[in-house]
Amino acid sequence: MKQFKFNKYTTILEVQKEQLEELIRFSKNDPWKPIFHIHPECGLLNDPNGLSYFNKEYHVFYQWFPFGSIHGIKHWAHVKSKDLVHWERMPVAIIPTEEYEVHGAYSGSAIVKNDELLLFYTGNIKYSEETRTANQCLAIMNKKYKISKSLVNPVITGIPEGYTGHVRDPKVWEDSGKYYMMLGAQRKNLTGTLIIYESNNAIDWNFKGELKTSLVNFGYMWECPDFFKLQGKDILVFSPQGMEKNGHDYQNLDNVIYAVGTLDINELTFDIEYTSELDKGFDFYVPQTFQDALGRRIMFGWAGMPEIQYPSDINQWAHCLTVPRELILEDNVLKQKPVRELETLRNDHKNIQGMLDDNLVEMENDSNSYELDLEFTAIQSSEIQLTLFKSEGEAFIICFDLKKNVVSIDRQNFVNSVGKEYGYVRTGELKIGEKITARIFVDKSIVEIFLNNGDLVFTSRIFPKETITRIEISATGTLTYHVDKYNLTRGI
């Protein structure tokens, strides 16, 4: 690849079209590039932003640095879809060209107002770690996809008293004619929290205060808050940084939690009834949700982690989003279901079923973008292993410990390893019982596992040496299995 000059703060306006095309060509044939997960053609993707259903189409924006796999100056990239599974790449949506966003157009959310899509984001200003500040900004997209930055930008200048420069990632919503903006923030004592602004028109904002919750001393910064109602409950999702590992919890460098309870917006309190992590895999961070025309609450997450090198980095692209997942609240637990539209990507159905007795079965597989739907019935079994990405010397092992009711995933056995400094195994608790059901989506270098109707979810990146890999099931004791496999076709 020809080298061209750019630095961390080079925007897409400062390079020639041919240079970008060269980068796209260079990363195009990477065998780890997913085919139905939203990913960048080149450069680095991180958080999903501005998720919305607007003018009969789904819109997903994401944090993007175009040149190589580093966290350089963030743009907002844009893809759209009519069905949530086939995505069209759109021109870059937000380029940080103004003084108020000079070091990046950071994450944010969208609302529909007067036939326009309002995109709220953070203008990042970072002269050094100590002299960092943030402005909250607005860009407006019309029905013809034309995006203009608001002339009154920034809609909020700087940081309110009591917080460091880490205030960002506006989540905006409307309630009874009023608009609210929730931001992730760091207090001057270096603890994470959320703050709230209020507005009558979504342009002029007043600082209301800090949201009071029972989560005190809970990490040093809370990133990318989300807030929504589901089945009559209020739900808060955010990504705390700096949590200590605790049993099955907070096993990653940065983590995601949700809290179910009641928000009193006037008192600025959120009474928590239940909290939990959203995903127990290695690579899941800063998810965002939106409601679609069918009333579904749909979530995309970033299938990645900050500050970790990934094997595909050498091919000048990094990361992807998860598949869209419908959220359902059952007894205060958020369950995640891959949206049903994903079924339209299925072809080439295969099925195996039978019984294992201290032995193993292998399933034929000729693709590395596929879905597995399986049901295990443990008759007298203490451990079940499902192995994906199996080839000479490599294996991704999903292990069900039926005595302890623990599921673990292990990605130790790969030449191209990821984040080994943070450990090779992740675990989660699952009331396993006799029957285990799983839906698993594999797409070249990402695997998403949904157990027992979305009770427990693991999202992970895996970088196998071989492109086509085997699937194996083994059991200690007796087990019946029933597995359907579908190859999945291209969506992006």
DSSP string covering 267-323, please? TTEEEEEEEEES--SSS-EEEEEEE-TT--EEEEEES--TT---GGGGGTEE--BPP
Place of tokens 């302890």: 404
- Size of site (CB under 6 A) for ligand FRU: 13
User: Residue 161, Cα to own-chain centre: how many angstroms?
Assistant: 31
> Which residue's structure tokens are 């002339």?
151
User: Binding pattern to ligand FRU, positions 108-147, x when CB under 6 A?
Assistant: --------------x-------------------------
For ligand FRU, give the closer residue by CB, 222 or 458: 222
Q: Which is nearer to ligand FRU, 307 or 364 (CB)?
A: 307
Q: Figure out which of the listed residues 81, 107, 336, 368 binds ligand FRU, where binding follows CB under 6 A.
A: 107
Q: Is residue 63 a contact residue for ligand FRU (CB under 6 A)?
A: yes
Distance from C-alpha of 483 to C-alpha of 351, rounded to nearest angstrom: 6
Please name the amino acid found at residue 149: K
Distance of CA 321 to the CA centre of its chain: 5
Q: How far is the CB of 489 from ligand FRU (least distance, A)?
A: 30
Please say which residue, 224 or 339, places its beta carbon nearer to ligand FRU: 224
Residue from 38, 167, 182, 224 in contact with ligand FRU (CB under 6 A)? 224
DSSP letter at 101 equals G
Write the DSSP string, 103-142. Answer: T-EEEEEEEEETTEEEEEEEEEEESSSSSEEEEEEEEEE-
Residue of the chain from 169, 226, 277, 394 that contacts ligand FRU (CB under 6 A): 169
What residues from 248 to 267 belong to the interface with ligand FRU (CB under 6 A)? none
Kindly state the smallest distance separating residue 20's Cβ from ligand FRU, in Å. 20
Q: Quick one: which of 33, 59, 78, 168 contacts ligand FRU (CB under 6 A)? A: 168
Token couple for 422: 């943070």
| Rounded CA separation 256/280 (Å) | 9
Alpha carbon distance 320, 268 (integer Å): 35
- Kindly identify the residues of this chain, within the stretch 447-476, that bind ligand FRU according to CB under 6 A: none
Binding status of residue 226 toward ligand FRU by CB under 6 A = no
Q: Measured from the CB of residue 221, what is the shortest distance to ligand FRU in angstroms?
A: 8
Check the CA dihedral 209-211-212-217 and report its sign. Answer: negative
Percent helix, strand and coil across the chain, each to the nearest 5: 5, 55, 35
Considering beta carbons, is residue 242 or 306 the nearer one to ligand FRU?
Answer: 306
Q: How far apart are CA 106 and CA 122, in angstroms?
A: 5
* Residue 124 vs 369, nearer CB to ligand FRU: 124
| 38 C-beta neighbours (distance < 10 Å), count | 24
CB of 398 to ligand FRU, least distance (A): 27
47 binds ligand FRU per the rule CB under 6 A: yes
- Cβ closest to ligand FRU, residue 85 vs residue 182: 182
Q: Least distance in Å: CB of 72 to ligand FRU?
A: 10
Report in angstroms how near the CB of residue 437 gets to ligand FRU at its nearest: 32
Report the alpha-carbon distance of residue 409 to residue 387 in Å, rounded. 10
Among 30, 47, 226, 410, the one annotated catalytic = 47
- Widest CA span in the chain: 69
Whether 273 contacts 424, CB under 8 Å: no
- Location of structure tokens 């990490």: 219
Question: Which of 41, 223, 443, 448 is close enough to bind ligand FRU by CB under 6 A?
Answer: 223
373 is catalytic: no
Which residue, 65 or 414, is less far from ligand FRU as judged by CB?
65
Residues of the shown chain interacting with ligand FRU in the complex, contacts defined by CB under 6 A? 46-47, 63, 74, 106-107, 122, 168-169, 223-224, 286, 306
Q: Which residues are catalytic?
A: 47
